[in-house]
Amino acid sequence: MTVTPISREALLHVVKTLPAAPQILAQLGRLLLDINSDLADITLLLKRDAALTARIIRISNSALYNTGLPFASLEEALARVGYTEVYRLTGFAAVAQLADQHLAVYGVNGVQLRENALLTALIMEAAAPAADLDEREAYTAGLLRSTGKVAIDRLTKGGGARFEAGTNDGLAAWETAYVGMTNVEAAAMILDEWRFPTDTVEAIRDHYLEEPSAFALTHLLHLAAGAAERRGMGLPGEGRYWDVTPEKLAAAGLTAAQFEAALGKAFDQFQSVRSAVA
């Protein structure tokens, strides 16, 4: 296998070819922290991307959000969905755009990628209150943790190398040998460039837990991704990284009972979210 190291510059260059929706999600997060912002400001931001706007309207008209007359415009959809739900709804639409492709390097199709992101995000969101973590940051980390895979796949199109799930050294080692960085390192660079919160960026970068971490959000993402894997929504090569231990639960700020309760809530929500975003 020929090693083709990816530079930070090359990675950030290919980011320009990715859908704009995740960058808009980052801007939305900052806008929602501004007490002076309102739905008019949010609408103006989201309308910068026509494809994202169309997806938001379509998802808002699903049974997940709407049981009455269909929303005809973004303004109407956001007004009815509500200020507090805007970020979550936009995140669903953003990941539908980002994960809408086959990743040949990883042997993952768009449906697998999207559903792993959705379930992991829902688990993170459900578990965050018990762990005393920010729900929005937790949700975002679960939603966008595989962004690096999308970028690496785009950068290596036509290279010929394909990850084999039985690779003894594991996914991270294979990626490092092939492109000089792991997908989680790539994701961290990208999300940092998009100005997502530092805690979210670091949780994604470190959540394989190949090195010890002191951050609860990192451990929670590790546990959530593992739970998605056990539910049959995992991604090739990652299974070796996940296991639930009392130490990891404690590091995430959770008891086993709290984590199980969060899983039950997330699994209950998943089917309706899955249908809305498909």
pLDDT of residue 231: 95
Helix (H/G/I), strand (E/B), else coil: 206? helix
> Distance (Å, rounded) from C-alpha 62 to C-alpha 258?
30
- Kindly give the parts of the chain with pLDDT less than 50: 1
pLDDT of residue 146: 97
> Distance (Å, rounded) from C-alpha 95 to C-alpha 139?
12
pLDDT of residue 165: 77
pLDDT of residue 161: 80
| 159 phi/psi in degrees, rounded to 5 | -75, -20
> 3-state SS of 219-252?
HHHHHHHHHHHHHHHCCCCCHHHCCCCHHHHHHH
Which residues make beta-bridge pairs with 108?
A: 103
CB distance 66 to 272 below 8 Å: no
Considering the entire predicted model, what is its pTM?
A: 0.94
pLDDT of residue 82: 83
pLDDT of residue 164: 84
> Distance (Å, rounded) from C-alpha 241 to C-alpha 83?
37
Task: Please state, as a whole number, how many other Cβ atoms lie within 10 Å of the Cβ of residue 250.
Answer: 13
> Distance (Å, rounded) from C-alpha 31 to C-alpha 214?
29
pLDDT of residue 3: 58
> 3-state SS of 110-177?
HHHHHHHHHHHHHHHHHHCCCCCCCHHHHHHHHHHCCHHHHHHHHHCCCCCCCCCCCCCCCHHHHHHH
Q: Residue length, the chain?
A: 278
Q: What is the pLDDT of residues 57-83, one digit of tens each?
A: 999 999 999 878 888 899 998 988 887
CB distance 144 to 204 below 8 Å: yes
Residue ranges and CATH numbers for the domains of the chain are 8-19+100-277 (1.10.3210.10)
